[in-house]
Structure 1
């Protein structure tokens, strides 16, 4: 008899976005002529810039010839792409290309990292939290049992991040854990940690012998961008917000960093990202984590698609970087339109300045009720904040990832529905 992994039975409910999809389907089945606009799931919508498409085509043509055909990639990605990432994203931070591991996106890496650590490993997460951090802990047996009265898993430490504490946890009240998942700019709140806050986080990890898993999927350049794109936008606008955890002294001894091409250039379907595992990162006793991470990537992953890698290389060309900046600027402009409209309606809004997400407080309603009201009255799909954790109750997340005309139409519909 084959036994199921018992940890799956510990899940309280479906994955958040599965629940949203089910509700959306039920509404469409009951209202087949309704035209829904989705400002919910954070999926990019705009076409890829032509230099990236040209890169895909060149590689595909190479694969059709005996002279330029290539098979398995290097286990940690092509040397050329790793060097480009080091030069573009970490130019002032002394990250070596062999500390960069190319993957099929940051989300798979965030789960694979847990393979490095045994079942007794304890985990802290921000609350609200990107659900994949918690779900990965559940599957790997690190979450404990679900507590119905608390609405949380017993072995996970939830770090409250609310408007009242500036969306940064009071670390003096946080219990020590082995791992700390931290996302900045944050998904779902859209808020970003300042340099002094990340310094506090790194000191906290050092003092507690903890590792930080820093999710920087909505970040970008750490040093000075090339002069030809200086006047084009990017997600992080605030000069006091670091683009990388490695901007903080001592972080290479305590932190991984994951990044992705998904939200920077629209690779949500192409699938390409990377994780930095510094050589200085060591377990208790001095064994390098790098050795085990290389083994995991060589065992559980066989290197990224060479077509996707070529697209990444094209992204980091001068023309590709210009396209990246233009794309992030477009989504930030969408976020500004949404935020200003919600503020005109009298709602308190957060985010939308250093990220494409707007975190909207809905007084007097729970998150799912607010979600359902906008679905039924405005035919607009959002994301209920409580799906990201207990501290998300009473909020919804609205995404700036959408076509401009859809954003304008959605804002008009929401304004009409909530003004009546």
Structure 2
């Protein structure tokens, strides 16, 4: 008789976005003509840049010509894309070999797949508030989870200490949902800790393109010792608008070992067993991101989202509300006014000013009393949502 994976029974109901959708639907049924200002979902609103679209079209055209047609692609990624990504890192002072770059169908997929490298007995340490998939992917595998609490007192940037337990250390910087970014000194402390404890850091760099401060690290491999303790997972979803196109990459250094086994060699074996590679067309589009013209165009789009963040930060500053994120990240993590919970603020904003954000409780217990706004929306809607927030809490009060 088939035995299902009973670890799925340890998962909590994924109620966050379901509850949000239910509340929105009920409101619209009662107010069918209402315009909602959706600042909750971390999905981009601008289209792919012209350089990428042209490259995708060229990829399609190539597939219609015998001499340029591509069937199965290399499982670990096309050389032209792996080389383009490695060259991009080289420009930032991070030396990489092209075969240390693994092309994926997106960071979310890779964050789950990479766990194949680790025994179920390994413990996952997750800094909360956190992207919920970190926890759920490990629970599905039957792995023990240790939650490291972060809060206002440390700017949602916890530091290691010898009392911690954890073999797989999740670090997301800039962070989703808080927008907090580790400094080089803070991140170096985690690298040193991982090397000392023979742990491994899974570094989620999905939002690195939003970093403006030149002193903040974009990649964990800017830190001394990271090649012996870290794997970096990145995405073109937010960097270049690929949320619906799906493309990302993983950096796994050659020579990275744990327990006498070579993790780079293991990952090559995993990919050549479990995938047939990402389509040529998508990789063609992805390579255009790393061209001079592609970089110029995506920076123009990113600046629009950064301007949205400035709009929200001005509103929060005017209201005197504590927040983090915004300057170097596409999220504003706001302390709820009046001692409200995140869900209470959600209901209040929806009913009073039709502005939608995300309750902090959806990202773990440490998120209670906080609220996330995304800056990926339409600029006009963002301006109006911010104006309504100021009117509500400054003009009307709570």
TM-score normalised to the size of structure 2? 0.95
Q: How does 1:262-273 map to 2 (within 5 A)?
A: 262-273=237-248
**What is the aligned partner in structure 2 of residue 123 from structure 1?**
124
The answer on 1:362 being equivalent to 2:336 is yes
Distance 1:18 1:121 in 2: 31
Structure 1 position 136, deviation (Å) = 0.6
Match of 2:367 among 379, 382, 392: 392
The answer on 1:26 being equivalent to 2:26 is yes
Match of 1:347 among 314, 321, 325: 321
Match of 2:167 among 178, 190, 193: 178
Q: How does 1:256-295 map to 2 (within 5 A)?
A: 256-285=231-260, 287-295=261-269
**What is the aligned partner in structure 2 of residue 251 from structure 1?**
226
Structure 1 position 76, deviation (Å) = 0.8
**Aligned residue-pair number:** 393
Contact 2:52 2:289 in 1 (8 A): yes
Distance 2:225 2:149 in 1: 25
Distance 1:134 1:303 in 2: 27
- Change in CA separation of 1:294 and 1:64 when aligned onto 2, cut-off 3 Å: same
Q: How does 1:37-56 map to 2 (within 5 A)?
A: 37-56=37-56
Distance 1:173 1:27 in 2: 49
Structure 1 position 315, deviation (Å) = 1.3
Q: How does 1:183-262 map to 2 (within 5 A)?
A: 183-220=172-209, 235-262=210-237
Contact 1:81 1:313 in 2 (8 A): yes
Structure 1 position 195, deviation (Å) = 0.5
- Change in CA separation of 1:410 and 1:86 when aligned onto 2, cut-off 3 Å: same
Distance 1:408 1:106 in 2: 30
**What is the aligned partner in structure 2 of residue 148 from structure 1?**
none
Contact 2:159 2:189 in 1 (8 A): no
Distance 1:7 1:20 in 2: 26
- Please tell me the root mean square deviation across aligned C-alpha atoms, in Å: 1.5
Distance 1:124 1:26 in 2: 38
In structure 2, stretches of 5+ residues that fail to align are none
Match of 1:302 among 263, 269, 276: 276
Match of 1:414 among 373, 389, 395: 389
More helix by share: 2
Distance 2:374 2:294 in 1: 24
Structure 1 position 173, deviation (Å) = 5.7
Contact 2:234 2:248 in 1 (8 A): yes
Moved over 3 A (4+): 1-4
The answer on 1:63 being equivalent to 2:63 is yes
**What is the aligned partner in structure 1 of residue 295 from structure 2?**
321
Indicate the SS of the match to 2:258: coil
Contact 1:16 1:131 in 2 (8 A): no
Q: Between 275-284 and 6-15, report the one with greater CA deviation.
A: 6-15
- Change in CA separation of 1:2 and 1:378 when aligned onto 2, cut-off 3 Å: farther
Distance 2:359 2:163 in 1: 26
Indicate the SS of the match to 2:373: strand
**What is the aligned partner in structure 2 of residue 228 from structure 1?**
none
Structure 1 position 8, deviation (Å) = 1.8
**What is the aligned partner in structure 1 of residue 146 from structure 2?**
157
Distance 2:203 2:356 in 1: 29
Structure 1 position 161, deviation (Å) = 2.0
Structure 1 position 75, deviation (Å) = 0.5
Contact 2:89 2:96 in 1 (8 A): no
The answer on 1:382 being equivalent to 2:357 is yes
Contact 2:236 2:246 in 1 (8 A): yes
* Deviations, residues 31-55 of structure 1 (Å, cap 9, x unaligned): 2222112111110001221111111
Distance 1:116 1:26 in 2: 44
In structure 1, stretches of 5+ residues that fail to align are 143-154, 221-234
Structure 1 position 15, deviation (Å) = 5.1
**What is the aligned partner in structure 2 of residue 311 from structure 1?**
285
Contact 2:159 2:186 in 1 (8 A): no
Contact 2:155 2:324 in 1 (8 A): no
Indicate the SS of the match to 1:111: helix
Contact 1:265 1:323 in 2 (8 A): no
Distance 2:313 2:4 in 1: 45
Structure 1 position 336, deviation (Å) = 0.7
**What is the aligned partner in structure 2 of residue 135 from structure 1?**
136
